[in-house]
Structure 1
Amino acid sequence: MSALRIAIVAGETSGDILGAQVIEALKKRIPNIEFEGIGGPRMTQAGLSSWFDMERLAVMGLVEPLKRLPELLSMRKQLKQHWLKHPPNLFLGIDAPDFNLNIEIALKAQGIPTAHLVCPTVWAWREGRVKTIAKACDDLLCLFPFEPRSFEGTKVRAHFVGHPMVEALEELPSDVDIRAALHVGDERVLALLPGSRRSEIESLLPIYLEALELCDFPHDIVIPASNSANFDLIQSIVATFSIKPRVVIGGSRELLKIAELATVTSGTATLEAALLDCPMVIAYRMSSVSWFFIKRLLKTEFAGLPNIMLGRAVVPELIQEELTPRALADELQALMATGALAQKAAFKEILSALDTRFGDQCASVLVNTLGR
């Protein structure tokens, strides 16, 4: 009997991590199985035959994708032509919806089973994409338990498979080792996460620091920088304030694991903080022009993933004009006064909901689709 062939396309590092977990879980279920397509070093090490450099797909912004459009279209055309001529037993697109959904539509139209991992954020904006997704994939693997509801009434089999971040965070070093690496000893730690984009750091960090200057916080203040350029930028901003936080390169997850509380820019870090049981204030501000358009597209009541998941305002959110140094200082002081007991109780709900052993859940869905 010939081996099962699974076609997979991942377009960036996060997808490579997810893809490797899925490949490894499938190999445990079906030893005689082959994987081909596009992936990074983790997927390749797990057993994928990658035909293109995954980094060629990882384009960001507005201008760069347009410059690379001919190359991306050619790459996608080659993949479609090959798999239509040599049909795989299943195609799995991992995130990268602008690239993968087009492939899925073409293959599904020819009767090839298709699946897509990571639900596009139709629950937050661009709800019209539900129709495109329904046309593209048979199975949709969702990371959050509220996502399948968006596909009720369609032919998509939407499955909640858990979040891989749960298992990733379990592998962090011990608190003792983290404190030694960050040189914080036994001090109480307040973490400031102003984002990874230069514009975010320039806009948000001064507000965070001014808030801390308004009150006497008995903490060792630590700011993680995502790279050396951001480290230099953060240091230059810190130099203009009287308080002197410690700035480190990397280690944001490790920092959240030992921090007593944090100020976190809205994004994935809010979920990391919740899963690491770190009470927080979510803070964000963008240009008034960007906010004018974005707030008209948003469908969610909340900005932070913990509140979106819970459906209630457990974590304080200071967004746009609500984000002032005084408001932030007050929220941080309130957390200290109460011990953030309400947040900690809610974080246990989130962890319980997302801890489903992601790789095994994905494999179960795909094996069922394969008829194994």
Structure 2
Amino acid sequence: MKIAISAAETSGDLIGAKLVSALKAQNSDIQIEGMAGERMLEAGCVQLWDKNLANVMGFSEVLKKLPALLRLQKVIIHYFSTSKPDVFIGVDAPDFNFLIERKLKRQGIKTVHFISPSVWAWRKNRIKKIKKSTDLVLCLFPFEVDFYQQHAQRAVFVGHPLAESLHPRQDYQSTKTVLLMPGSRESEVKRLLPELLAAVVIIKKQDSQLNFHIALANDELLEWAKVLADKVNVPISIGDAHQQATRSDLVLVASGTAALELALLGVPMVVVYKLSAMSYWIAKRLVTIAYVSLPNIIAGEYLVPELIQDDANPDNIAQQAIAILQSDTTALIQAFNNIHQQLNLNASEESARIIMDFIHE
């Protein structure tokens, strides 16, 4: 049995790796190949293309890489059109994967999209594209299935794979540590890290006993980040965000999957984000929901502070951070525990089972 897969982001690589392991556990003879990162490679996926070839975010950023992305899509489509896998699984990255899925679906190849795009939040007209591209959508959040049922698109809630491996910390004792997680993409790190470090200077004036640490997703910007961090004496580590987070009183984090990961670990946070001016101008007109961070969206209430674009400045970041550090977070942690319970459904095993059944239909 041949399974094709495409993950084009760091978060997709994490979730894709769990799915690959679950599929291999059901049938060790399955051949799984495609676009993957290091985690998927370690799980047993054959890496035909590195995920970093397509790892880009933001409208203007995508435009700059568009010719290369289109060439890559064409290569992937040609390869799987020839090899004819039993199913193609697009892991997240909808704008990249849907085109591939649509072309392969037209050739009779079954397609699954693992992780529903936020079509319920913005660009709702994408449902037309989804219906043309994907036979089955695997949803990480229960409210997503309701949206798809309204549009006669086959979809199943499977829970979130990260809830399998990330669990709320127990009996936490303060370490007087604040962690900085500025994201995984070059564009977001370069926009956010200077703001976060400027906030560190302000926070230190309020509490000189606090320690600060930066967790980078990879070493691509290590030298650049080190120049900034050394000026305020903040150490940096690579690829150990989860471990660092569990030892921190608070995390200043880029909006995205990382915010959900912190909620699953039960760690208070301030969510920050900045896009290019053009990307933000476009996004602001397309987003139709009240919140941007996943903990708030899932809970349906303002659990964690969100500082977006111009609001993501050092003064605001410091103010929100100090407020959390000085508050009782018992109710917040309980809300995070509720999110974990809601999403912890052995998503990887369930997804693998559903995909195998779907292949044999």
Is the TM value for this pair above 0.5? yes
Alignment partner, residue 200 of structure 1: 191
Deviation at 1:116, TM superposition (A): 1.4
Deviation at 1:233, TM superposition (A): 3.4
Deviation at 1:141, TM superposition (A): 0.8
Alignment partner, residue 259 of structure 2: 270
Where 2:318 maps in the other structure, the secondary structure is helix
Larger of the two Rg values belongs to structure:
1
Deviation at 1:344, TM superposition (A): 0.7
CA–CA distance in 1 between the matches of 2:340 and 2:199? 28
One-letter amino acid of the structure 1 residue matched with residue 49 of structure 2: D
CA–CA distance in 2 between the matches of 1:287 and 1:102? 25
**Structure 1 residues 54 and 318: CA distance shift in structure 2, 3 A:** closer
Farther-moved stretch of structure 1 (277-286 vs 323-332): 323-332
Is it true that 1:73 corresponds to 2:70 in the alignment?
no
Alignment partner, residue 93 of structure 1: 90
**Structure 1 residues 283 and 16: CA distance shift in structure 2, 3 A:** closer
Residues 157-207 of structure 1, C-alpha deviation per residue, up to 9 Å, x if partnerless? 2112122222343599x999xxxxxxxx98421222233434224542244
CA–CA distance in 1 between the matches of 2:231 and 2:166? 34
1:291 to 280, 298, 302: 280
Alignment partner, residue 222 of structure 1: 213
**Structure 1 residues 326 and 137: CA distance shift in structure 2, 3 A:** closer
Alignment partner, residue 156 of structure 2: 159
Alignment partner, residue 58 of structure 1: 54
Is it true that 1:34 corresponds to 2:30 in the alignment?
yes
Where 1:205 maps in the other structure, the secondary structure is helix
Residues 3-22 of structure 1, C-alpha deviation per residue, up to 9 Å, x if partnerless? x4444444456545444433
1:138 to 117, 125, 135: 135
CA–CA distance in 1 between the matches of 2:164 and 2:46? 26
**Structure 1 residues 29 and 67: CA distance shift in structure 2, 3 A:** closer
Is it true that 1:117 corresponds to 2:117 in the alignment?
no
Q: Which has the higher contact order (CA 8 A, sep 6+)?
A: 2
Deviation at 1:258, TM superposition (A): 0.9
**Structure 1 residues 164 and 44: CA distance shift in structure 2, 3 A:** same
CA–CA distance in 2 between the matches of 1:288 and 1:64? 18
2:22 to 25, 45, 57: 25
CA–CA distance in 2 between the matches of 1:9 and 1:234? 30
Contact 1:194 1:204 survives alignment (8 Å): no
CA–CA distance in 2 between the matches of 1:352 and 1:171? 10
Where 2:30 maps in the other structure, the secondary structure is strand
One-letter amino acid of the structure 1 residue matched with residue 80 of structure 2: L
Contact 2:196 2:317 survives alignment (8 Å): no
Deviation at 1:212, TM superposition (A): 0.8
Contact 1:12 1:54 survives alignment (8 Å): no
Alignment partner, residue 181 of structure 1: none
Compute the RMSD of aligned alpha carbons: 3.4
One-letter amino acid of the structure 1 residue matched with residue 54 of structure 2: A
CA–CA distance in 2 between the matches of 1:126 and 1:110? 27
Contact 1:76 1:99 survives alignment (8 Å): no
Structure 2: state its 5+ residue gaps.
Answer: none
One-letter amino acid of the structure 2 residue matched with residue 131 of structure 1: K
Q: Percent identity among equivalent residues?
A: 34
**Structure 1 residues 283 and 35: CA distance shift in structure 2, 3 A:** same
Matched residues, number? 352
CA–CA distance in 2 between the matches of 1:92 and 1:226? 25
CA–CA distance in 2 between the matches of 1:154 and 1:194? 36
Deviation at 1:348, TM superposition (A): 0.6
Alignment partner, residue 299 of structure 2: 310
**Structure 1 residues 273 and 186: CA distance shift in structure 2, 3 A:** closer
CA–CA distance in 2 between the matches of 1:234 and 1:45? 28
One-letter amino acid of the structure 2 residue matched with residue 208 of structure 1: A
Alignment partner, residue 362 of structure 1: 351
Is it true that 1:236 corresponds to 2:224 in the alignment?
no
Where 2:142 maps in the other structure, the secondary structure is coil
Deviation at 1:306, TM superposition (A): 0.6
TM-score of the pair, normalised by structure 2? 0.82
CA–CA distance in 2 between the matches of 1:234 and 1:57? 22
Deviation at 1:230, TM superposition (A): 3.7
TM-score of the pair, normalised by structure 1? 0.80
CA–CA distance in 2 between the matches of 1:56 and 1:127? 27
